[in-house]
């Protein structure tokens, strides 16, 4: 059974860089044809797709966040990561990682981690 | 960027049927948008109900079904139960590797 777990600082100062990691267990991040994705949800609001990384390492990002976001993978640790620069209070949200198949099936989700941007 | 729209809220009686829709500002939604549907209760991660328009995720009751209705993707709950009271989200593939979520629909069962 594949499991995903987000981790990282729960508090980030404005203008700094948010860094989160998603650890994958129960399967190799480098095998199969999957998109390793990040989604976020501000409190009381809807889901927002941030971006994804394919098993090959290629990436796609939400156009509205593209200039500030980088998704990368560390296959040795079976982890993929999200970095978002120049954060503001508007980036305060629960951040989820998810695995997505080539057919668009969001088959596994992490439990989510709350990141608050505040001084 | 394309905006994906859903009804903000819906109410259904227990045992009733409700259809939530998912439209795109870019035009008609088709199977090429690979619509998926998610259920979310407070404090929980989303749960995938439907993917690729009409394929139910493992363990999802068959009272949940997906389709294309007119120019939108649709999620239909037939025989609604009290524990179906949740937020429901759709997501559409816009091409170029980009997905966009709908704003969500709050379903009340009463």
A46 has a chain B CB within 8 A of its CB: yes
Residue B77's pLDDT is: 98
- In 3D, which of B3, B34, B1 has the Cα closest to residue B101? B3
Residue A22: list chain B partners with CB under 8 A.
Answer: none
Which residue, among A106, A108, A110, A114, would best test binding to B if mutated, counting the most B CBs under 10 Å from its CB?
A: A106
Nearest CA in chain A to B105: A46
The C-alpha of B75 sits at a distance from chain A's nearest C-alpha, in angstroms, of 16
Residue B59's pLDDT is: 96
- Identify the DSSP state of A33: S
What's the helix, strand, coil split of chain A in %, to 5?
Answer: 5, 55, 45
A93 has a chain B CB within 8 A of its CB: no
- Give the angle A31-A33-A34 at the CA atoms, nearest 5°: 95
Mean pLDDT along residues B3-26 = 97
Cα-based torsion angle of the residue sequence B92, B95, B99, B100 in order, rounded to the nearest 10 degrees: -60
Where residue B1 falls among pLDDT bands split at 50, 70, 90?
confident
A5 has a chain B CB within 8 A of its CB: no
Question: Low-confidence residues of chain A, pLDDT below 50?
Answer: none
- In 3D, which of A114, A111, A116 has the Cα closest to residue A23? A111
B108 has a chain A CB within 8 A of its CB: no
- Coil/strand/helix, residue B12: strand
Give Cα B88 to chain centroid, integer Å.
Answer: 6
Residues A1 and A109: beta-carbon distance below 8 Å: no
Query: Can you tell me the distance from the alpha carbon of B40 to that of B47, in angstroms, rounded to the nearest whole number?
Result: 6
Query: Can you tell me the distance from the alpha carbon of A74 to that of A104, in angstroms, rounded to the nearest whole number?
Result: 23
In DSSP terms, B36 is beta-bridged to B91
Residue A31's pLDDT is: 84
Mean pLDDT along residues B6-34 = 96
B62-102 tens-digit pLDDT: 999 999 999 999 999 999 999 999 999 999 999 999 999 99
Residue A62: list chain B partners with CB under 8 A.
Answer: 1, 98
């Amino acid at each position: 059974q594949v499991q995903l777990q987000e981790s990282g600082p729960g508090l980030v100062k404005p203008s700094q860089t948010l860094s989160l990691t998603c650890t994958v267990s129960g399967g190799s991040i480098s095998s199969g044809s999957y998109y390793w994705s990040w989604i976020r949800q501000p409190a009381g609001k809807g889901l927002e797709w941030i971006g994804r990384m394919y098993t090959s390492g290629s990436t796609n990002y939400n156009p509205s966040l593209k200039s500030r976001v980088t998704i990368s993978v560390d296959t040795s640790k079976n982890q993929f990561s999200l970095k978002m620069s120049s954060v503001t209070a508007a980036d305060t949200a629960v951040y989820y990682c998810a695995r997505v198949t080539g057919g668009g099936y969001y088959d596994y989700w992490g439990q989510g981690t709350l990141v608050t941007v505040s001084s | 960027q394309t905006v994906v729209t859903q009804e903000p809220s819906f109410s259904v009686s227990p045992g009733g049927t409700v259809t939530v829709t998912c439209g795109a500002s870019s035009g008609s939604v088709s199977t090429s948008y690979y619509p998926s549907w998610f259920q979310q209760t407070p404090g929980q991660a989303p749960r995938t109900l439907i993917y690729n328009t009409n394929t139910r995720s493992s363990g999802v009751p068959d009272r949940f079904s997906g389709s294309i209705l007119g120019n939108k993707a649709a999620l239909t709950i037939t025989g609604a139960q009290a524990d179906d009271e949740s937020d429901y989200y759709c997501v559409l593939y816009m091409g170029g590797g980009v997905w966009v979520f709908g704003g969500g629909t709050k379903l009340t069962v009463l």
